[in-house]
Structure 1
Amino acid sequence: MPETLAALFLAHVLADYVFQPGWMVEEKSRPETLFLHFLAVALTAMVTTGQVASPAIYALALVHITIDTIKTHAFSDSFLPHITDQALHLTSLIAVALISPDLFAKGAYATFLWLPKAMLLTAGAIYATRAGGFAVGKLMEGFGPSPIEQSLDKGGFWIGLLERALIFLLLIGQMPGGIGFLVAAKSVLRFEAAQEGKKAEWVIIGTLASFGWAIAVTLAVLFIAAQLPPLGISTLND
């Protein structure tokens, strides 16, 4: 079951955060766009599980599109609907893995015992960084425009991406103490902004949300990774 879950998680991450361009997100209310996303969900699941004709994959893709359709037509594109949407997608992955636990074991990659953990770590890295950027961004949109006037183009985006990537690597590499260094470094670099009330609150909320997302995702990845065969790298608790 953990092998199947790891493969399906990577498929979900690829379909939602790698092979779903901005125009597809903006036009998801159109039936043809939803169909294209359905194909992406189904095809990525086929590739990661090594299965082509499994009914479980088509059922998963159908559930995924149903969730997206309801969210697009019934809710706004704000933080709470976005998080609920992702929670439902992840729940559907777990449900399929429980119903069809041998999906990966009976697929084309069954002999590659190290592959599920590699898939899990890859998916975890993308989910901690890129998915975290969308989640934190939608959270901060609820507080209005950024009060920090002078900033590089997409500077905040890259800072958040890099800090979540570093947190993921530090926890995977069993160096959690390094997170404290990140907090201290960001505090020094953002010292001037932290002197003003509104800017300080903006930086604190954004930083805590970004750090919290990365830590939560990485801990979940480590929990699942502990159930999988060794990858062959000692720093990954094999």
Structure 2
Amino acid sequence: MSIPNLNWLLLLLIGHFLADFLFQKDAWVAEKNEKHFAAPSLYIHVLLHAVFSGLIVFAFYAAQDAKAFLPSLGAAAVICISHLGIDLAKTYAQKNTLSFLLDQLLHLVVIVGLWMWITAQGGVVVELVKNANYTKWSLLFLAYFVLYMPTGILIGMLLQKWAPQNGQVGQTRDDAVTADSLKQAGKWIGYLERTLILTFVITNHISAVGFLFAAKSIFRFGELSNAEHVIKTEYVLLGTLYSYTCSLLVGFAVQRLL
């Protein structure tokens, strides 16, 4: 895959994100969700995507001294129809993280397909898929998965006897939250910290783990004003050390296997 061809993919992606986020008003989103296919803003938004993509494809063919009008018109039509269908379906879907990610994934699939068509990179992509190191990717997937729920449950069991509230076997260390805690926030903090630590280790940036630990510790200093806060702080610190230990051990094991 040559760098010039990759540049055109990047331009198509930039055009998509500009039209989908920077140039899309909040009022448009609200109108689409309320009126669905009857919302004028839906068609304005789709037309904007089509114009961006069409201009980029026109520039691609013009740079090759090839006829550019019909290919750019075809590209605009593909983006227009696909984006209209995806966005219209999204207006009927629940507004959550999954629907947002699925919406963006479908748009990106269309854009990559369009790029493969105009640059004739289909064969290169097929070769990349064939020659991918599936053992490596399977190992990475397993490592990250193990550090999420299985490790969270293990840490919850290890901390059970010190939990500030009555915890149950099988809970994560962050399920035993106090009334003033955000719901499941601790669990997701644990997921994110373990993700970052494993990523730092396998990319040979282990020194960044120290900055992560220091940043998290700073937030606990203000909670040492009374005995109850000391207990909570010690509980969270112990859970953090368990979390870091598991993440580092898994990271070192993956690094050795790779």
TM-score normalised according to structure 1 size: 0.44
Task: Name the one with the larger helix percent.
Answer: 2
RCO higher in structure (CA 8 A, sep ≥6)? 1
**Larger of the two Rg values belongs to structure:** 2
